[in-house]
Structure 1
Amino acid sequence: MRRVWLWLIIILLVAGSAGFLLWKPTGGNASDQAYRLGAVDRGQVIASVRATGTLNPVTTVLVGSQLSGQVVEILADYNTPVKEGQVVARLYAEQIKSRRDAALADLAQAKADLDTRRAQIDKARSALQRAEAQAADLRAQKDRIQAQLEEARRSLERQTELNTRAVGTQTALEQARTQVDIQTANLASADAQIASNQAETLGLKADLALSEANVKSSEAIILQRQAKLKDIEIDLARTEIKSPVDGVVVKRDIELGQTVAASLSAPTLFTIAQDLREIDIYANIDEADVGRLKDGQKVSFTVNAYPNRTFNGRVRMVRLAAQTVQNVVTYTAVISVRNQDQALLPGMTANLQIITDEREDVLRIPNAALRFRPAITIATSETGDGTPDGETPRRRPRVPDEQAGNGEARGVAANGQDLRRRPRGEQTGSMQDEGTRARIYRVGPDGNPQPIHVRLGVTDGAYTEILRGDLEKGAAVIIGALRADAADDTNGGAGNRRPRPPRMF
């Protein structure tokens, strides 16, 4: 019986303790509330875009071969510095040299033929000149004969008149007639000689024109054979693979004795980076962040090869061509980097931080204050955001701190909306002058969260700039709850406590 009473007393004590805990009011002073507080301070806020990219040479030259042949000599290897025009490899060239020698012989023969035909031109010109001189003599001779014929005719007329007057002799008359006949025959002979000379002159002119045409033909043949020789010399020069730029060999794609086939396209033999003292980073920027990038913005980055070293660069351009992979749209940003010590190598992966905005000595709050939400919205006349008098306060789901941290990474604003759905000018890190509206909380005089309306500027992920709001340096704002149920007890003091259902034992 005594044991029964003992167990009854123990049960009553346990039940009383449980009832006391269940019905104990949790409102009251601010010191009774289990909130974590953060301080408003002044400092630096740097808005940035994080991305990854690949290091690439500013100029990469693929050295190929326009000629098919066997590789007989390799004069450059990986990491070999080269100068413009330096021979890096040679192809088999003996067959091309034989073709060149044959072309040289053909060209020499064509030049000899040209000399012969030019001599023929000189000979034809000389013959034509002689014929023209002979034609001049014949014309002069004809003129003399013509004059003699006229004189003979006048003499015949005088003798005829003398005989008519019986003064002259018959012999003299006959001689005069004979002289006229002789000069007439001489004149006819001169005309025949002149006609023959003219025909000869025409033939010589035709021969001269033919010789000149032969010379032009020989000159054309020489030009043709010179062009053929030049093509062969170009092919011979192509057997020497030369570097087109100053740089360093980053890749070699041939081996000694390998046969290069360039029938359809020029095969790549070497890859040469022009100058590794300047290097570019090709970074993939999400379409939600590309509007914040501008030419000349500062960039800091690290590479896995030097985890404790930070490198710097600047945005050179954002390419307009978009890339879509699995419905994700990105744009390529080109970042210029000085690489004087050549520690950065092509192909390295860079973890980038592109600074899009930078503010110095501004009022700022921890981002955790933007994520905090009490479980119950309190109606207050100070802010005008509460429920009307007589209505039951609306309960809002409280975001746990660990989930809120994920929201920060996604760019969640203070009112719980995703900034990526907002117009570009209202996104955090690229704000308009008036900033983005937000609401944070501080502990009021009654110990309850008191909302404060603010305007937000840029954010760096940890702190956010306050452009306007009822806040001063050193003010305390709520950044979280120490107990999971602390936010459930923010509905007032002991007069407004809510009874909890009895626990099941």
Structure 2
Amino acid sequence: MRRLPTIVVLLAVAIAAGFYLFAGWSGAPAEGSYRTAKADRGEIVATVSATGTINPTTTVIVGSQLSGQVVEVLADYNSEVKADQVVARLNQNQIRARLDAARADLAQMRAQKLVTEGQIEKVRAETEKAKAAQADMEAQVVRNEALLADAERNLTRQSELRTRGFAAESVHDTARATRDAQQAALNSARAQVNSAKAALLSLAADLQIAQANLESVNAQILQRQAAARQIEVDLQNSEIRSPVSGVVVLRNVELGQTVAASLQAPELFRIADNLRKMEISANIDETDVGRIKPGQHVTFTVNAFPGRTFEGVVKQVRLGSQVVQNVVIYTTIISIDNPQRELLPGMTANLRVETERRENVVRIPNAALRWRPPVAADQPLVVASEPAASPGGAPQRRAQGAGPNGGAGGANGSEFLNTIKSELKLSPDQVRDVDAAVAEMRQTMMANASAGGDANTRRERFRTARAELEQRIAGILTAEQKPVFEEIVKRNSETRDARATQSGRIFIVGKDVQPQGVTVRIGASDGVMTEIVSGLNAGAEVIIGGGSRNAAQRSGPRFGF
């Protein structure tokens, strides 16, 4: 009786082993050998991951233009400073001494200018005096000429009287002497006039020299003033001032330190102008930079605040590239708000740049695009010719010519129609007319598909039908609704153009439990899920893994040990 349970157990094991061996020898796949997932509707957010460094929008380096000893440090780390605020001072004793000497030289030159101006006035006065003396000499010449003429006439009369014997010899001699004296006086007056003219010329030369000296003094005064102003500038530069309002993020100076500014200005302070508005300098790989555009939304995290997510906006993609470890990267600037000043300069940010966002689209796991059925020599792969499968598993044909981008006759046609109805707020009569127009357009698409033709012909037919539908809908709308409708059409066209045109291959489980291939048009991907633009409806089951055993497994039994 005790052996009965043992026999029962052995029989059960034998039955199980036989079934296992039979299943191993048979080539039929076991039920549920394919792992599937259902295509659903949802959101696809495509992102680009990168790292970057948080920096202030503007960082100002404050240095010293002078060399000297620091006698005051008026700002420290994290100090808030205002524009033109003194943050440090250098020793001013030598500068003030040079300034006093320059001012003394300037005062001396101004005194020299006064002396020169006095000399000029003196020469001008002497010139006037010489002119007056010359005029007097010229008057004396005229007087002496008149007296000489009178003496000549008197001498002529006396000579005639002496010839007749009416005048004494002595009177004649006196007249001659008088004439000679007047001649000498005239000659003397003329010489004095010439002397006065020479004196005027000398005074004119003295005046030119004095005026030249005055110009030289004025030039020296300007030179002394420039020297004094330069020293005053040095005196002002001895006070290190902040050029902007901000926060001190770095201080490289200590009290008593000697600053040397012989070749370049040393960095004393680094001031961030605004820590409430900051930027992230991110390195974007060349394979992703084409997807980055200004205005895109960015989320990022920092190690200092685990579990928190911050936001920003792409501001600029700089054209200059860098090569880091044989990889070409481009610097992208992201603007961020930091109202609480929690984010500090130099922090490392882990970024996710949102490059695309798709709302309410058909999506499947990426594994469905990667899975391929095992191919054996004795089992050819069965590929379905239908473009899609319905949620119930039955193949569903689509009008050829609806194109990969949908439109009024494809998967996106319903979205387009719903957008029109919701945004235009159609009346019941307008809704009826629009539905009728769409139904006629779909019938036209089915007729075009039956007409045959190549892909380009079918695509052109679809474009023509879509344009006719848009014109018919526009005729149904009111004047107020037409501008909104035109905007919807434009937006829908941009969406179609922006959709990816890549094709993909997925597999569904056919009626004969064999994988059937389906060609789809794929769009955005977030790394886990991929958008299906056309070729598959929501609810369809797609294969993401598993499959029948390969030929080697079907060639004999499996023994699991």
2:131 matched to 1:65?
no
In structure 2, distance between residues paired with 1:52 and 1:251:
24
- C-alpha distance 35-94 of structure 1, shift in aligned 2 (>3 A): same
* Structure 2 match to 1:215: 214
* Structure 2 match to 1:474: 539
User: Which of these residues, 474, 481, 488, is aligned with residue 549 of structure 2?
Assistant: 488
- C-alpha distance 373-338 of structure 1, shift in aligned 2 (>3 A): same
* Structure 2 match to 1:424: none
**What's the CA shift for 1:309?**
3.4
* Structure 2 match to 1:118: 117
The amino acid across from 2:511 in the alignment is P
**What's the CA shift for 1:190?**
1.0
Contact 2:244/2:273 (<8 A) preserved: yes
In structure 1, distance between residues paired with 2:257 and 2:560:
85
The answer to which of 254-263 and 209-218 deviates more is 209-218
The amino acid across from 1:184 in the alignment is Q
- C-alpha distance 19-277 of structure 1, shift in aligned 2 (>3 A): closer
Q: So what's the TM-score if we normalise by structure 2?
A: 0.72
Deviations 1:329-384, CA, capped at 9 Å, x for gaps: 21110112232332222111111111222222222222221122222285336349
- C-alpha distance 218-295 of structure 1, shift in aligned 2 (>3 A): same
Deviations 1:374-413, CA, capped at 9 Å, x for gaps: 222853363499xxxxxxxxxxxxxxxxxxxxxxxxxxxx
For the residue of structure 1 that corresponds to 2:542, the secondary structure is: strand
The amino acid across from 2:510 in the alignment is G
**What's the CA shift for 1:161?**
4.6
In structure 2, distance between residues paired with 1:20 and 1:63:
86
For the residue of structure 2 that corresponds to 1:291, the secondary structure is: helix
The answer to which of 291-300 and 269-278 deviates more is 291-300
Contact 1:33/1:447 (<8 A) preserved: no
In structure 2, distance between residues paired with 1:316 and 1:165:
132
2:25 matched to 1:23?
yes
**What's the CA shift for 1:135?**
1.4
In structure 1, distance between residues paired with 2:560 and 2:258:
87
For the residue of structure 2 that corresponds to 1:307, the secondary structure is: coil
* Structure 2 match to 1:444: 510
**What's the CA shift for 1:307?**
3.1
* Structure 1 match to 2:519: 453
The amino acid across from 1:319 in the alignment is R
In structure 2, distance between residues paired with 1:166 and 1:249:
127
For the residue of structure 2 that corresponds to 1:49, the secondary structure is: strand
In structure 1, distance between residues paired with 2:125 and 2:229:
37
Contact 1:40/1:476 (<8 A) preserved: yes
For the residue of structure 1 that corresponds to 2:323, the secondary structure is: strand
In structure 2, distance between residues paired with 1:305 and 1:437:
43
Deviations 1:196-253, CA, capped at 9 Å, x for gaps: 2122222222222222222222222222222222222222222211111111111111
For the residue of structure 2 that corresponds to 1:191, the secondary structure is: helix
Deviations 1:31-82, CA, capped at 9 Å, x for gaps: x132222222222222221111111111111111121211111111111111
Contact 2:83/2:245 (<8 A) preserved: yes
User: Which of these residues, 380, 383, 392, is aligned with residue 382 of structure 2?
Assistant: 380
How is 1:199-278 mapped onto 2 (pairs within 5 angstroms)?
199-278=198-277
In structure 2, distance between residues paired with 1:76 and 1:224:
38
- C-alpha distance 455-13 of structure 1, shift in aligned 2 (>3 A): closer
How is 1:291-440 mapped onto 2 (pairs within 5 angstroms)?
291-376=290-375, 378-380=380-382, 382-383=384-385, 433=499, 435-440=501-506
**What's the CA shift for 1:177?**
3.0
**What's the CA shift for 1:288?**
0.6
Deviations 1:80-108, CA, capped at 9 Å, x for gaps: 11111110011111122222222222222
In structure 1, distance between residues paired with 2:248 and 2:204:
67
In structure 2, distance between residues paired with 1:42 and 1:148:
138
In structure 2, distance between residues paired with 1:434 and 1:88:
57
- C-alpha distance 56-15 of structure 1, shift in aligned 2 (>3 A): closer
* Structure 2 match to 1:498: 554
- C-alpha distance 14-478 of structure 1, shift in aligned 2 (>3 A): closer
* Structure 1 match to 2:472: none
The amino acid across from 1:153 in the alignment is E
How is 1:64-83 mapped onto 2 (pairs within 5 angstroms)?
64-83=63-82
Unmatched runs of 5 consecutive residues or more in structure 1:
386-429, 492-496
Cα RMSD for the two superposed structures: 2.9
The answer to which of 140-149 and 258-267 deviates more is 140-149
Contact 2:251/2:268 (<8 A) preserved: yes
The answer to which of 122-131 and 97-106 deviates more is 97-106
**What's the CA shift for 1:458?**
1.2
In structure 1, distance between residues paired with 2:91 and 2:383:
94
Contact 1:376/1:488 (<8 A) preserved: no
Deviations 1:165-190, CA, capped at 9 Å, x for gaps: 66666565444433332221111111
* Structure 1 match to 2:477: none
**What's the CA shift for 1:311?**
2.5
The amino acid across from 2:545 in the alignment is G
- C-alpha distance 433-151 of structure 1, shift in aligned 2 (>3 A): farther
In structure 1, distance between residues paired with 2:325 and 2:278:
30
In structure 1, distance between residues paired with 2:81 and 2:223:
37
In structure 2, distance between residues paired with 1:479 and 1:83:
63
In structure 2, distance between residues paired with 1:216 and 1:247:
50
- C-alpha distance 13-277 of structure 1, shift in aligned 2 (>3 A): closer
Contact 2:26/2:554 (<8 A) preserved: no
Count of matched residue positions in the alignment of Structure 1 and Structure 2: 442
The answer to which of 246-255 and 99-108 deviates more is 99-108
Contact 1:79/1:250 (<8 A) preserved: yes
Identical columns (%):
51
- C-alpha distance 310-162 of structure 1, shift in aligned 2 (>3 A): farther
**What's the CA shift for 1:164?**
5.2
For the residue of structure 1 that corresponds to 2:99, the secondary structure is: helix
Contact 2:366/2:527 (<8 A) preserved: yes
* Structure 2 match to 1:94: 93
Unmatched runs of 5 consecutive residues or more in structure 2:
388-495
In structure 2, distance between residues paired with 1:15 and 1:277:
73
Contact 2:21/2:557 (<8 A) preserved: no
In structure 2, distance between residues paired with 1:142 and 1:134:
12
* Structure 2 match to 1:419: none
Contact 1:370/1:438 (<8 A) preserved: yes
For the residue of structure 1 that corresponds to 2:254, the secondary structure is: coil
- C-alpha distance 434-262 of structure 1, shift in aligned 2 (>3 A): closer
Q: So what's the TM-score if we normalise by structure 1?
A: 0.80
Contact 1:252/1:271 (<8 A) preserved: yes
How is 1:131-170 mapped onto 2 (pairs within 5 angstroms)?
131-161=130-160
2:177 matched to 1:178?
yes
In structure 1, distance between residues paired with 2:208 and 2:192:
24
Contact 2:41/2:362 (<8 A) preserved: yes
Contact 1:38/1:479 (<8 A) preserved: yes
The amino acid across from 1:26 in the alignment is A
